[in-house]
């Protein structure tokens, strides 16, 4: 009987999922879907491996159930209805924060769950939903093994100087350090780059994961050496609703002068800032690009400015640059943002092919460009499936 793996990526404002059949030890995608919040409506879409639609449904948040609770119920019900004979042997879950100790995917136990719950304060926008996905899958499939795949794991081999804050060292020992995030995406893109351009993948690469969550990563020979994100998923680039880099003195000011509570500051920095806060319009880059309001254009300009600044800094960390990759919703689709980011970057070795860029070709740099620039769609669900299979294989080998 064929075996199947279910990938579940429960984020702050969306849930991505996919069903894979194990062809030997390689995952073969059968269906992929997403649940999104679109205004007051919640929208679920599912496609097969050929991108043909399987399911499209929507419901209003007026129905009463919280978004993640109802969305997960519908996702799991869809799987049972559409693939009733699927032999799901494991469910793999994206978990944003693995802390100090989790540097590779693991089978979920009660002890692991307690550890993940203890990390909620470090990723309050994501970790609770990641855990909710695990619990929902556990309840739906009590005899199916659950695997946690960590966004921080890809970055755990950073050099000390890229891992530490200039605080008393005792805080570092306690775990106050730069973790970096989006690791599942970076690992997938790195492996994909190794397939399409192995010489570049073996060199100095900067990957820009640009979406509602955004970060950049410096990678040398496939290994992460620095990331724009730090202790939490707030640091670095501005994002859809998150502030990005912020002088910590601002937080002190909000506490002391504005008398804001920790809960109010958390809400401000995670949910009311970034593109949404700067523009006063939307967190969605598509809406901002379509707007003729000055505030929308200024929000985009700041987003681009911070990417360009991070690009220069990460290139310095790598002592040069051989390739750059754009991925994520904005990175893959917003050609205008890519063009503005790379405009005038000849000094770093990048010469943009505007025609290729506007077509979102795989290579958007010119033949003369010393640094080759790629657009590579990321697939966190596929990486979750691969890591889940690897964990199962190790567990089965150990039990044999």
Nearest partner of 155 among 214, 212, 99, 234, judged by Cα: 99
- C-alpha dist (Å) from residue 33 to 55, 150, 334: 9, 21, 21
- Mind listing the pLDDT tens digit for each residue in 237-255? 999 999 999 999 999 999 9
What pLDDT shows up at residue 71? 83
Residue 98 near residue 149, CB atoms below 8 Å: no
User: What whole-number distance in Å separates Cα of residue 119 and Cα of residue 142?
Assistant: 24
User: What whole-number distance in Å separates Cα of residue 287 and Cα of residue 278?
Assistant: 14
How confident is the model over 162-170, as a mean pLDDT? Answer: 97
Query: 250 φ, ψ to 5°?
Result: -65, -40
Residue 196 near residue 318, CB atoms below 8 Å: no
Helical packing angle, 127-140 and 110-118, nearest 10°? 160
Residue 160 near residue 400, CB atoms below 8 Å: no
Task: Give the rounded percent of residues in the chain with a pLDDT score beyond 70.
Answer: 98
Q: Rg of the chain's alpha carbons, rounded to an integer?
A: 21
State the first-to-last Cα distance of the chain, in angstroms, to the nearest integer. Answer: 20
- Which residues, including other chains, have CB under 8 Å from residue 193's CB and lie 6 or more apart? 200, 201, 205, 323, 325, 374, 376
Q: Would you place residue 316 in the very low, low, confident or very high pLDDT band (cuts 50, 70, 90)?
A: very high
Q: Which residue has the higher pLDDT, 135 or 190?
A: 190
Lowest mean pLDDT among 49-58, 158-167, 372-381: 49-58
Global pTM reads 0.93
Lowest mean pLDDT among 80-94, 188-202, 313-327: 80-94
- In terms of Cβ atoms closer than 10 Å to its own Cβ (0-12, 13-18, 19+), residue 319 is exposed
Residue 63 clears pLDDT 60, i.e. is over it: no
What pLDDT shows up at residue 67? 76
- C-alpha dist (Å) from residue 56 to 20, 41, 45, 217: 20, 13, 5, 35
Residue 191 clears pLDDT 70, i.e. is over it: yes
DSSP annotation of 219 reads: E
Task: Give the rounded percent of residues in the chain with a pLDDT score beyond 90.
Answer: 81
Task: Name the H helices within the chain.
Answer: 67-82, 110-118, 127-140, 169-174, 183-196, 198-201, 248-256, 262-271, 274-279, 285-290, 294-318, 328-333, 335-342, 354-358, 380-399
Residue 214 clears pLDDT 90, i.e. is over it: yes
What pLDDT shows up at residue 113? 97
Is residue 23 annotated as part of the catalytic site, yes or no? no
Query: 264 φ, ψ to 5°?
Result: -70, -40
What pLDDT shows up at residue 73? 82
Which among 23, 151, 284, 322 is annotated as catalytic? Answer: 151
Fold of 198-375: Nucleotidyltransferase; domain 5 (3.30.420)
Domain ranges, ordered by start, for the chain? 4-150, 198-375
- Mind listing the pLDDT tens digit for each residue in 343-395? 999 999 999 999 999 999 999 999 999 999 999 999 999 999 999 999 999 99
User: What whole-number distance in Å separates Cα of residue 282 and Cα of residue 8?
Assistant: 27
Average pLDDT score over the chain: 93
Helical packing angle, 248-256 and 262-271, nearest 10°? 140
- Mind listing the pLDDT tens digit for each residue in 64-115? 567 777 888 888 888 888 898 889 999 999 999 999 999 999 999 999 999 9
Residue 319 clears pLDDT 90, i.e. is over it: yes
- Which residues, including other chains, have CB under 8 Å from residue 317's CB and lie 6 or more apart? 162, 218, 225, 226
Residue 99 near residue 175, CB atoms below 8 Å: yes
164: helix, coil or strand?
A: coil
Fold of 4-150: Nucleotidyltransferase; domain 5 (3.30.420)
Asked whether the domain spanning 198-375 has the same topology as the one spanning 4-150, the reply is yes
Helical packing angle, 127-140 and 67-82, nearest 10°? 40
DSSP line for 248-272: HHHHHHHHHTS---HHHHHHHHHHS
316: helix, coil or strand?
A: helix
């Amino acid at each position: 009987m064929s075996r199947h793996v279910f990938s579940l990526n429960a984020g702050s404002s969306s849930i991505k999922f996919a069903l894979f059949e194990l062809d030997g030890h390689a995952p073969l995608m059968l269906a992929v879907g997403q649940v999104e919040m679109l205004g007051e409506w919640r929208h679920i879409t599912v496609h097969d491996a050929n991108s043909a639609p399987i399911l499209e449904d929507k419901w209003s948040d007026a129905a009463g159930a919280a978004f993640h609770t109802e969305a997960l119920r519908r996702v799991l019900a869809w799987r049972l209805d559409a693939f009733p004979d699927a032999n799901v042997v494991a469910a793999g879950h994206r978990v944003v924060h693995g802390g100090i100790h989790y540097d590779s995917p693991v089978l979920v136990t009660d002890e692991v769950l307690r550890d993940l719950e203890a990390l909620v304060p470090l990723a309050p926008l994501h970790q609770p939903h990641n855990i909710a996905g695990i619990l929902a899958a556990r309840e739906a499939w009590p005899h199916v093994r659950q695997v946690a795949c960590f966004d921080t794991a890809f970055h755990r081999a950073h050099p000390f100087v890229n891992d530490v804050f200039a605080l008393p060292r005792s805080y570092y020992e306690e775990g106050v350090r730069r973790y970096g995030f989006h690791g599942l995406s970076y690992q997938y893109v790195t492996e994909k780059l190794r397939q399409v351009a192995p010489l570049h993948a073996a060199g100095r690469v900067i990957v820009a994961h640009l979406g509602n969550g955004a970060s950049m990563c410096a990678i040398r020979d496939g290994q992460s050496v620095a990331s724009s994100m730090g202790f939490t998923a707030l640091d670095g680039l501005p994002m859809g609703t998150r502030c990005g880099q912020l002088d910590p003195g601002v937080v002190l000011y909000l506490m002391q002068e504005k008398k804001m509570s920790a809960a109010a500051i958390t809400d401000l920095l995670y949910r009311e800032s970034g593109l949404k806060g700067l523009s006063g319009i939307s967190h969605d880059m598509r809406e901002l690009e379509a707007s003729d309001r000055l505030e929308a254009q200024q929000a985009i300009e700041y987003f681009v400015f911070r990417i360009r600044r991070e690009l220069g800094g990460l290139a310095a960390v790598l002592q040069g640059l051989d390739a750059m990759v754009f991925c994520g919703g904005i990175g893959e689709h917003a050609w205008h943002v890519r063009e503005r980011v790379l405009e005038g970057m000849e000094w770093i070795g990048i010469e943009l092919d505007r025609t290729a860029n506007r077509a979102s070709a795989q290579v958007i740099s010119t033949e003369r460009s010393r640094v080759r620039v790629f657009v590579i769609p990321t697939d966190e669900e596929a990486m979750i499936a691969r890591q889940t299979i690897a964990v199962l294989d190790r567990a089965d080998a150990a039990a044999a």
